[in-house]
Structure 1
Amino acid sequence: MNIVPFFDVEQIKRTGTFNMDSDHFHESYEIYYLLAGERYYYVNDRIYALQVGDLLFINKNQLHRTTSKGRSTHERILINFEDSFLEPLLGLGVGDLPLFQGESFLLRPDVHEQGRIVDILQDMLREQREAATGYTPYLQALLLQLLILIGRMREEATEPVLPESSEKQRRVYRIIEYLNAHYAERLTLEGIAEHFYISETYLCRIFKQTTGFTVIEYLNYVRIREAQTLLKETEDKITAIAEQTGFDSIAHFGRVFKQIAKRSPLQYRKQNKV
């Protein structure tokens, strides 16, 4: 349970193989900093190979998952926060800031920058753990300091850190693009495999190996993410939204929605209506 509303920071060290299997997109921002080891990170339809000192900024509602790269021990610090945590400090809409607009991104800080980042992160961990007087505004100030540093590093980077790009990964990227474009249709594994002139077995294997998701898992997340947008921004009936996002029945839609969003479509609409 977070001791500060809308903000959490944690440091975890894991030995051997570990593949993330928790919620894969959420309505908070995420900052992932790799202290030790190496990881594959799927985010925003691409795979990144993270090395020590890498920092990944994940925007709201971006599908993501981290998976093992070898069997080495890895250690990371993870921050999650919502707009409302910073708004009292900034006095404006956090989403209007340049850093929060556009896509998620990976930074590869130099040794000096890594030192500054780790200092801020350790201060955050200590403040959250000790919860001394005034720790909430202190955490807000530390987070703002970190975000300013990230923004400057991003501006000064000579070139972006590129995602992995083997032939297998490029094929999976094309499949992902197809799913993103056709999620509203009645897709089947057989039909997707035929479209790309590969077998169902090969489709399922390379997709899982590359992204950490099964094809159906990924398709469901894309559909539910779009359904959440429609629930928030339109007056469409839930049955119509289920049909618009590719579900063959309202019962199937409701079941998958609750599994991913942890609440029913109606509850989600009541809590998030714009």
Structure 2
Amino acid sequence: MKVQQSFLQKAEFFSVYIETINGKYNAAWSSHSYYEFMLDFSGEFCVSLGETTYSLTKGDVLVIKPNQPHRVEPKGPEEFKLISIVMSEKFSDYVQYRDINWNPLVLFEKNLLMPVLHFHGKHLERLEQMMYMLVAESENKQNFQDVFIADISELIVLEIGRYCGSIYPEIVRNAVYN
């Protein structure tokens, strides 16, 4: 078993992590007080949320609510890579500060048909492009790396919002700040 965790950025409002896992992996249960979008960048893996296990494939996004027990498990012996965008309790302040017209945290507060979002079409293409950019930037030690990572992560969160807006237009429309 090989687990490589690449810490990308930790900030007051959100953090970004990339994990690469090879071989057998016995994950411990975890739970935290913040919101998380977990994205499947490559390979396949499962995530148990309480009693239910969800299978993720490339481009899927798992929505994890605060204090929700979960653990990541390999689906097979192949390597997989995941990206986690972890939003603090102050994330709402961040979206208002950045003049983002809606708060994606509303997705966690509604009883939507989730927790896995299966992206497809143009949304999947854009999401994959942004994930590739994020991983490439994490491996590229250049000037302004933290800013690029934060901006790409923000774009990913906004793309998740756009996709949810196409599935749940009324909820997203009603969550727009005035």
| Pairwise TM-score range, normalised by the shorter structure | 0.5 to 0.7
Match in the other structure for 2:94: 88
The reply on whether 1:8 has 2:30 as its aligned counterpart is no
Distance across 2 between alignment mates of 1:86 and 1:140: 15
Who is 1:100 aligned against?
108
Rg larger for: 1
Q: Is the partner of 1:40 in helix, strand or coil?
A: strand
Note if 1:17 corresponds to 2:24: yes
Q: Which has the higher contact order (CA 8 A, sep 6+)?
A: 2
In structure 1, distance between residues paired with 2:80 and 2:145: 33
| Structure 2: gaps spanning 5 or more residues | 1-6, 170-178
| Residue in structure 1 matched with residue 144 of structure 2 by the alignment | 132
Return the alpha-carbon distance in structure 1 between the equivalents of residues 141 and 90 of structure 2.
Answer: 21
Q: Hey, what's the Cα distance between the residues in 2 that align with 1:11 and 1:42?
A: 19
In structure 2, the CA distance between the partners of 1:3 and 1:52, relative to structure 1 (3 Å rule), is: closer
Q: Which has the higher helix share?
A: 1
Mapped to 2, the partners of 1:41 and 1:15 lie a distance apart of 16
Shift of 1:84: 1.0
| Pairs within 5 Å for 1:1-274 | 2-21=9-28, 24-90=30-96, 94=103, 98-102=106-110, 105-124=115-134, 126=137, 132=144, 135=147, 138=151, 141-142=154-155, 144-155=157-168
Rounded to whole Å, the distance in 2 between the matches of 1:35 and 1:105 is: 17
8 Å Cα contact 1:33-1:56 kept in structure 2: yes
Letter of the structure 1 residue corresponding to residue 151 of structure 2: Y
Given the superposition, is the C-alpha separation of residues 138 and 43 from structure 1 closer, same or farther in structure 2, using an over 3 Å criterion? same
Q: Could you tell me the TM-score, scaled by structure 2's length?
A: 0.67
Kindly indicate whether the alpha-carbon contact (under 8 Å) linking 1:43 and 1:65 is maintained by their aligned counterparts in 2: yes
Q: Distance in 2 between matches of 1:119 and 1:6?
A: 24
Flag as ranges the 4+ runs of structure 1 deviating above 6 A: none
- Compared CA separation, residues 3 and 107, structure 1 to 2 (3 A): closer
Gaps in structure 1 of 5+ consecutive residues: 157-274
Higher mean C-alpha deviation, range 138-147 or range 122-131: 122-131
SS of equivalent residue, structure 2 residue 168:
helix
TM-score of the superposition, structure 1-length normalised? 0.46
Question: 1:119 Cα shift?
Answer: 2.6
For this pair of structures, how many residues does the alignment match? 154
Aligned sequence identity (%): 20
CA distance in 1, matches of 2:145, 2:82: 27
1:12 shift after superposition: 2.5
